Amino acid sequence: MRQDFRFTNLVEMCRSTHEELQGRAARIVDTSLAVRNWLFGWYIVEYEQNGADRADLYGKRLIERLSESLKESDIRGVSPTNLRKFREFYRAYPEIQQAASVESLLLPGPHAGMRQTVSVQPFAILAQAPEARAVLGRVAQAVTLGWSHYVTLLTIDDAGERRFYEIEAAANQWSVRELERQIASSLYERLALSRDREEVARLAREGQVVETAADLIKNPLVLEFLGLEAKPVYSETDLESAIIDRLESFLLELGKGFLFEARQKRFTFDNDHFFVDLVFYNRLLRCYVLVDLKRDKLTHQDLGQMQMYVNYFDRYVKLEDELPTVGIVLCRRKNDALVELTLPKDANIFAPKYQLYLPSKQELKMELERITEELEEGGSS
C-alpha cells in the first residue's frame, strides 16, 4: 500500500514538473516570437521609408512578395495579414525602439564609425557586429510580454491605455485570457474615475501604483464572474457566498496585494456581537481592508457602521507599525453627496459601486470626461 502511494507521488511530481517547465518553455517561445515580429515590423517600415524610388512591384506588392519569399524559406506565421500586424506592432511601440536604441546600427570593418539604416545595409551584420547584437538584446529586454498578449493590446487605440495594460499584464503575470477580461471590464477607465488628471497620466506611464488607500479603489467593481443575474432577487449572503466560491477571481478584481483573512469576522464590544462580511489584508500598504456588502442602495447607517468597524480594528487589531484600516462598502446604488456629507474628508472609507455585468466602455469614457470637465471648472473658479 505504501509502495503504491510512493509511486503515485512519483508520477505526480514528474507530471507537475513537466507541466511547469512546458509552460515556461511556451512563455519563452511566445516572448521570442514577439521579439521576432517587432524586428520584422522594423525591417518592413525601414524598407518602405527608404523605397520611394523603387518600382511599384516592390512597393505596392511588398508585403505579398515578402510573405511568399519567407514561406519558401520555411518560416512560419508570415502571411500577408501577419506581416501587416508586425508593421503595426512596430509603429505602435516606439518606446521599444527608444529603449533598444535601434535607430541605426554601427557597421563593422572598413565602415567603422559610419551609421547606416537596416533598409540599406542587410541585417545579416547582426552576426558580425557586437553593437548590433547588443541591439537585439535590448529589444528582447524591452519586449515584456508574449506575442499573444501584444495581439490583444494592439486592439486598443489609445497609447496611454495600451501602455497601462502592458505594464499591468507584465507586473501581474496575467494570462491572455485575464488580460482580455481586464480590458473588457474597462479596468483603466474604472481606476481613472477615482483619480485626477495627473494621476490618470501616471496610470498610463507607470500602471497602477499602490501608495495610498485611494489607489486601491476601482469604481465600479465588476463581478460578472460570479454568475449572478443583474436583478435584486438575491440576498447579501448569496452575494458573499458567490464571492467566496470564486475568491481567486474576486482577489484579481480587487487589485494588487490583497490576501484573504476571514469571512463573517466576529468581534464583541460591550456584550454586542458584530460581523464584518469580508476581511482582507493588503501586503503593499500593510493594512487591514474590511469589505461590507450591500445588495442595493447605500445609506448613511451603512457608512456609520463601517466607520465603527474601522475604528475597532484600528484600536484593537492592527499593530503599531501597520497603516490605518481601510473600509470598503460595496453597493449597487449610492448618492455621492450623501457619502461626502456623512464621511470626514480624511476618512479611510470608500463606497464604490459594483456591477454584475461588464460595463459599457463608452459609458465609462463619458463619465470620465464629465468628471474631468467638473474638475477643470472647479479649478478655474
pLDDT tens for each residue of the chain, 381 residues long? 556 767 788 788 888 878 877 777 777 888 889 988 998 898 888 788 765 445 444 555 889 989 999 998 888 889 999 999 999 999 998 888 777 665 544 434 444 333 444 433 444 444 445 556 677 778 888 888 999 999 999 999 988 889 999 999 998 889 899 999 889 888 888 887 766 667 777 887 888 888 888 888 887 888 888 887 655 556 788 889 999 999 988 998 898 899 999 999 999 888 889 999 999 999 999 999 999 998 878 988 999 999 999 999 999 999 999 999 999 999 988 888 888 888 877 889 998 888 887 666 676 667 666 666 665 565 555
pLDDT value of position 313? 95
Amino acid at 233: V
In whole angstroms, give the CA distance from residue 82 to residue 86: 6
pLDDT value of position 199? 75
Q: Within 13 Å of residue 160, how many CA atoms lie on the same side as its CB?
A: 13
CB 289 within 8 A of CB 281: yes
Q: Exposed, middle or buried: residue 118 (CB in 10 Å: 0-12, 13-18, 19+)?
A: buried
pLDDT value of position 123? 46
Q: Which helix (H) or strand (E) holds 290?
A: strand 287-293
Domain(s) of CATH 3.40.1350.10: residues in the chain: 221-358
Reading the block at residue 285, the C-alpha cell is: 500598504
- From residue 31, alpha-carbon distances to 95, 98, 142 in Å are 17, 19, 11
Helices (DSSP H) in the chain: which residue ranges?
2-49, 56-59, 62-72, 80-92, 94-100, 130-142, 147-153, 159-172, 176-184, 187-192, 197-206, 236-245, 247-254, 300-316, 336-342, 361-380
| 331-340 CB contacts, 8 Å cutoff, 24+ apart | 331/294, 331/296, 331/297, 331/298, 331/302, 332/232, 332/294, 332/295, 332/296, 332/297, 333/296, 333/297, 333/298, 334/297, 334/298, 335/298, 338/298, 338/299, 338/300, 339/298, 339/303
Is 221-358 a CATH 3.40.1350.10 domain? Answer: yes
Give the DSSP letter of residue 17. Answer: H
pLDDT value of position 258? 94
Reading the block at residue 243, the C-alpha cell is: 464571492
Is the four-CA dihedral 244, 245, 248, 253 of positive or negative sign?
negative
**Residue position matching grid coordinates 513537466:** 18
